[in-house]
Structure 1
Amino acid sequence: MKKIQLLSLFLVLGLFINASEVEDGYKIGDYVSDFSLKNIDGKLISMSDYKDAEGFIIIFTCNTCPYSKLYEQRITELHNNYASKGFPVIAINPNDAKRQPGDSFEKMKERAKAKKFPFPYVLDETQNVATEFGATRTPHVFLLDKENDKLKVAYIGAIDNNSRNPEAVTEKYVEKAIGEIKAGKSVSKTNSKAIGCTIKWREA
């Protein structure tokens, strides 16, 4: 009987720990730290490099996830439409290349060239940035808004409400949030569920 009770306790504790891990990372309204990550051209990219930026569309994505592939064109369009308005895209690959060889730095360069990415595509080799942000999926968006020279999280989640078919999208979460920020309004929808593949974390 005692063994069963102990087992139940461990299971409950395990669920609590897992729930806590999911809750880690930035929340809406948090200020974020800058990062320095290697871009596909070999240069280091930081948000502080963008002197005129009013915010950023940070997207954790990768080469191999089918959902990331479905969103590649939409990510390109986001950058093309909003970089000139102060909200450039920085795409971050958080996947461990040992677990997912198709997401290696060399494969990133190949993918970016083939798809003509107009935005930085950087590698989070240590996975520290993904951990700090609390990213769990690819793709996973964190929209940042500059406030008093600091970058604040304004929206977290998906790009829109239809991953499979861009023609069937009825809610463009990121675009709407940027429009509200530019208009001096509060973001009306600050969170949505990120639909995609789980990040391939390093094995202990």
Structure 2
Amino acid sequence: MDRNTNKRYVSYMKTLLISLLISITTHAHNGALTKAKLLNGESFQSLAAKEKKLVVFFLSASCPCTKKNIPYLQKLSKEYSHFQFIGVHSNANENLDLAKKEFSNFDFPIAYDEKGEIADQFKATKTPHVFVVSASDEILYHGGVTNSIDPKRAKNFYLDNALKDITNHKEVRQKFAKALGCYIVR
């Protein structure tokens, strides 16, 4: 193979691999989410979420990145009220009492994922890690909230851009962005 052919082959293989990864992660398979128990004792199914698109974000009571993103996520939940926002607390090293103490007074429901089943199904890795899911269970966006651990310092607002695109009935321009924050402890 000459050098140009080799470059084209490597480029083709990268594109193929990225396409394969995107196709593997485009469905949420959120069966565990529909069975989730919320911190307030209700079940997630009682929210009638199938009628709305979901914004599912993973959070931690001890992660400074989560704490910096919560006010911004609350702002977005009001701005995009036609989406159902739900937080998922999946850290095995943080008990239910701590989760209730940290997250009981939020504008959106918080699920307690004691066994990490929801995090496993979504393949969530960090807090915050965000997934925008269509009513037909397709992941429209996943990754970071912004390009910074603190939205006040961000220059790229990935989640906001994805929600704007969906609201305007457009294809999401950026379907994935690296999640920044603390790793989910399983």
TM-score between both structures, scaled by the size of structure 1: 0.73
Partner of 1:134: 123
Percentage of pairs with the same residue: 25
Amino acid at match of 1:78: L
Q: Does 1:180 align with 2:165?
A: yes
Residue 31 (structure 1) shift: 5.0
RMSD, aligned CA: 2.0
* Cα separation, 2, equivalents of 1:79 and 1:87: 7
Quote the Cα distance in structure 1 between the aligned partners of 2:184 and 2:147. 20
Question: CA-to-partner distance for each residue in 1:75-114, whole Å, 9 max, x for gaps?
Answer: 211212212xx21210001111xxx2xx21111111124x
Secondary structure of the residue that 1:92 maps to in structure 2? strand
Q: What aligned pairs does 1:28-67 form with structure 2 within 5 A after superposition? A: 29-34=26-31, 35=33, 36-46=35-45, 49-50=48-49, 52-53=51-52, 55-67=53-65
- Structure 1 residue runs of 5 or longer lacking an equivalent are 1-22
In the aligned structure 1, how far is the partner of 2:46 from the partner of 2:124? 18
Q: How does 1:97-108 map to 2 (within 5 A)?
A: 100=93, 103-108=94-99
CA distance in 2, matches of 1:130, 1:112: 18
- The size of the alignment, in residue pairs, is 163
Cα offset for 1:47?
Answer: 8.0
Q: Does 1:88 align with 2:81?
A: no
2:149 pairs, out of 157, 160, 163, with 163
1:117 aligns with 2:106: yes
Report the secondary structure of 1:89's partner residue: strand
**Which residue is equivalent to 1:151?**
137
Work out whether residues 26 and 134 of structure 1, in 8 Å CA contact, stay in contact via their aligned partners in 2: no
User: Is contact 1:26–1:153 with CA below 8 Å preserved after alignment?
Assistant: no
- Partners of 1:163 and 1:47 lie apart in 2 by 32
Structure 1: which 4+ aligned runs deviate by more than 4 Å?
A: none
Letter in 2 for 1:42: G
Distance 1:126 1:186 in 2: 34
Q: Cα 1:47–1:60, aligned 2, differ >3 Å: closer, same or farther?
A: farther
- Give TM-score, length-normalised by structure 2: 0.80
Alpha-carbon distance in structure 1 between the residues aligned to 2:124 and 2:75: 22
3-state secondary structure, aligned to 2:91: coil
Q: Structure 2: which 5+ runs fail to align?
A: 1-20
Tell whether the 8 Å contact from 1:32 to 1:153 is kept in structure 2 after alignment: no
Deviation at 1:32, TM superposition (A): 2.9
1:26/1:32 contact within 8 Å kept: no
| C-alpha distance 162-47 of structure 1, shift in aligned 2 (>3 A) | farther
